[in-house]
């Protein structure tokens, strides 16, 4: 199946969200479809080395009420149902995708000491989301090409599905942004000026628009 995944992503990678290590069942896809809508993507691609990957849209989301609205918005934009835009490629290793550009990469269920940083960076995604960090290996891709983005988490309305109550404020997720993508998401004002604007009710301008999504691939 590795060959099939490579061929598909060589053609559609720029319009795809790729979930590396998606597991035997596609689930907890709430944030993934938010990223697909926010970035104008068409395909959801599940990759794993397991023998079979199953997808049932009725069991794919954590918050079914919110998911119904998200799926409806996706269907309206694509003029095609979300389930027909899902592609799964079992018996496929992440290493097979090196060098293939994909718009967004999601990492879940990454085994401890398993590092895919070099593979992810070679795929040149605009955004990289890692969720459910407890017990999974954090892919650290910070550096010249990528940076963590808290503003992106707010912009795409990313919500942790399993927060950790012991550490207040921990999101149990990390969103990375390619440094040349959506620079307007990052508020470069000092924190004290941002705080002052919130207190005075002056946030300094309009909300982010989809125009920021038009970047060179």
Q: Please compute the mean of the pLDDT values over residues 154-166 and round it to a whole number.
A: 79
> What is the CB neighbour count within 10 angstroms for residue 25?
15
Q: What is the pLDDT of residue 208?
A: 36
* pLDDT tens profile 7-64: 999 999 999 999 998 989 999 999 999 999 999 999 999 999 999 999 999 999 998 8
Helix axes 30-39, 64-78, angle to 10 degrees: 30
Task: Please check the confidence at residue 215 and state whether its pLDDT lies above 50.
Answer: no
Q: What is the pLDDT of residue 80?
A: 87
Task: Please check the confidence at residue 152 and state whether its pLDDT lies above 80.
Answer: yes
Contact 60, 27 (CB under 8 A): yes
Q: What is the pLDDT of residue 170?
A: 65
DSSP letter string over 91-160?
S--GGGGTT---SEEEE-SPPTT---HHHHHHH--SEEEEE--TTS------SSSEEE-HHHHHHTT---
Task: Please check the confidence at residue 211 and state whether its pLDDT lies above 60.
Answer: no
Query: Residue 15, SS3?
Result: helix
Contacts of 164 (CB under 8 A, 6+ apart): 134, 170, 172
CA–CA distances in Å: residue 27 to residues 32, 119, 126: 10, 23, 22
Contact 108, 21 (CB under 8 A): yes
Q: What is the pLDDT of residue 207?
A: 36
Quote the radius of gyration of the chain (alpha carbons, Å): 17
CATH of domain 2-213: 3.40.50
Q: What is the pLDDT of residue 82?
A: 95
Indicate the average pLDDT of the chain.
84
Task: Please check the confidence at residue 164 and state whether its pLDDT lies above 80.
Answer: no
The domain spans of the chain are 2-213
């Amino acid at each position: 199946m590795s060959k099939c995944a490579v061929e598909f992503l060589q053609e559609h990678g720029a319009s795809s969200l790729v979930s590396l290590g998606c597991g035997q069942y596609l689930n907890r896809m709430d944030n993934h479809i938010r990223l697909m809508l926010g970035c104008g993507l068409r395909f959801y691609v599940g990759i794993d080395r397991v023998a079979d990957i199953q997808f049932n849209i009725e069991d794919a989301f954590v918050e079914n009420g919110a998911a119904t609205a998200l799926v409806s918005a996706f269907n309206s934009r694509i003029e095609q149902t979300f389930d027909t835009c899902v592609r799964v490629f079992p018996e496929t290793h992440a290493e097979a995708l090196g060098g293939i550009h994909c718009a967004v990469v999601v990492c879940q269920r990454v085994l401890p000491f398993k590092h895919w940083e070099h593979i992810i960076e070679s795929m040149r995604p605009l955004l990289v989301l890692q969720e459910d960090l407890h017990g999974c290996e954090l892919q650290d891709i910070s550096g010249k090409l990528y940076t963590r983005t808290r503003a992106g988490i707010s912009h795409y309305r990313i919500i942790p599905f399993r927060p950790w109550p012991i550490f207040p404020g921990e999101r149990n997720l990390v969103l990375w942004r390619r440094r040349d993508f959506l620079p307007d998401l990052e508020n470069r004002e000092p924190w004290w000026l941002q705080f002052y604007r919130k207190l005075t009710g002056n946030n300094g301008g309009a909300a982010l628009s989809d125009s920021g999504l038009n970047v060179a691939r």
